[in-house]
Structure 1
Amino acid sequence: MKNFLIFCLSILTMASCKNSEKKTDNSVIEETINDTIELEAVEKSAKKSVKEIKKALEAKGFKTFEYVDEKTKDTILMQQYFMAFLKNGSIRTQNEEEAKLLQEEHLAHLSKMYELGYADISGPFGDNGDIRGITIYNVPTLKMADSLANADPMVKAGRLVIEVHPWWAAKGFALR
């Protein structure tokens, strides 16, 4: 857990040091900023009922369902997220300097996704396998998750490829 927190802090530090005037293909990202800000306000409101949260999410295009936990009798709201697997791409011939720059841009992209509310968590796998890491996107459609994932500079350069799958999780539950 400590290593994960250090990794996340280093991502945020590197992203804050990037030149903020550098332009990238952000049309997909910027067209839904207002929706994300409104959705975050809904999600952060602890006084909203499950039905109110569900209604707000569905109004934004999110898929949800609810069930009653037999043990606690609590109503659990399930939301569809999208898990993007970042896999080795076919173009891994960049020299050390190019690879380092791509990594910095990749981390800045992931930080921006998190800051804008599009991604809830990202991180690398530790086994140096073909699947390099994951990002869980908190967006209403597969098309949007795929567009955001494919806007990653590492993907654009062909060093990584993306595989996105719908994934269900209980709304508001934290990792342990």
Structure 2
Amino acid sequence: MATIVAVARDEGHRFSKPILPSIRLLTGLGIEGDAHCGETVKHRSRVKVDPTQPNLRQVHLIHEELFGELAAGGFSLRPGDLGENITTRGIDLLALPVGTRLQLGAEALVEITGLRNPCIQIEAFRPGLLKAVLGRDADGNLIRKAGIMAIVLEGGEIRPGDSIGVTLPALPHRALERV
């Protein structure tokens, strides 16, 4: 069963986010009180390019299983360390297609827009970590493991222990790409 392990937000543009007992998702905006909340893009590098872009990165989710994989490589990480809003367990987030809807708890609904593109801030946080969250598949294609991004379709409060429901989009499915 897929569940929420931890939730986090931060009003500032800091790399890691503090863990909280609950967070509130706001329809069309993101996480209430989070620096990335809004209809238009809030990530500083993207604002410099075009501040009118729609915010396809309202919510950042990471699967807890990544922390185990990274621990085997010598990196000790906890929920919130990589700046995610929601840490999950029991769901292969990276295998889901664009447009997948995730029911978070009883109220909130998000739609997956794509992959988080890990940046140099990860390397500044822990040297060697950027390489660890990137990989290559059998064909040599780049694999980004640092989580997925979503937009909020229906708001609501979520907390650790809440279940996650999955609704796949109609076929044909589109693989996740960086957003």
Q: Do both share a fold (TM > 0.5)?
A: no
When the two structures are superposed, what TM-score results if normalisation uses the length of structure 1?
A: 0.30
Bigger radius of gyration, 1 or 2?
A: 1
TM-score between both structures, scaled by the size of structure 2: 0.30
Q: Which has the higher helix share?
A: 1
Instruction: Identify, as 1 or 2, the structure richer in strand.
Output: 2
